[in-house]
Structure 1
Amino acid sequence: MSSEHNVTETLDVKGQSCPMPIVKTKQAIDDLEEGDVLEVVATDSGSMSDIQGWADSTDGVDLLEQVDDGELYTHYVKKTV
């Protein structure tokens, strides 16, 4: 699995369930600069809808892509402000 996104930082939340992937994603995004891309790697299938919903309702972030390979769920979130 490879991505075209220029990843600034990777956040490993494997083994953690809701709400921790969202909580940690928000904390990590807050520490990044505008234009940075955060790669979030999770094992919780619920993270697909959770991170989508969070990104849709949060100003300053853009969900670029989500990849479901059956075991890992990888999310690419860009900080836009």
Structure 2
Amino acid sequence: MIIIDLTPYRCPLPLVKVKLALKQLSAGDCIRVVLSDPGSRQDVPRYLKKAGYCHTVEQDNDAILSITVSK
């Protein structure tokens, strides 16, 4: 599994990086995305749902949102 730590970045860069990472995945591959920016914590899950990606929230607290995404 590939882990992408996007905690240093602010919106909209995390969403752009997630989209680019998803394009490189093969069928059946998974990535874990770690976010801290409040805007990205809303935008990324919303995008994943709209685009039809299967995703699971692994951690969601005041500081971090961690999502596993499979293609």
Query: Structure 2 length normalisation: TM-score?
Result: 0.83
Task: For residue 66 of structure 1, report the CA deviation from its aligned partner.
Answer: 4.8
SS of structure 2 residue aligned to 1:34: coil
Distance 1:48 1:67 in 2: 12
RCO comparison, higher one (Cα < 8 Å, 6+)? 2
Mark the runs of 5 or more structure 1 residues left unpaired by the alignment. Answer: 1-7
Q: Does 1:14 align with 2:14?
A: no
Mark the runs of 5 or more structure 2 residues left unpaired by the alignment. Answer: none
RMSD: 1.5
Q: Which residue of 1 aligns with 2:40?
A: 47
Query: Structure 1 length normalisation: TM-score?
Result: 0.75
Aligned-residue sequence identity (percent) comes to 28
Q: 1:46 to 1:67 in 2, by over 3 A?
A: farther
1:69 maps to amino acid = N
Residues paired across the two proteins, number: 71
Please tell me whether the aligned partners of residues 35 and 41 of structure 2 are also in contact (alpha carbons under 8 angstroms).
no
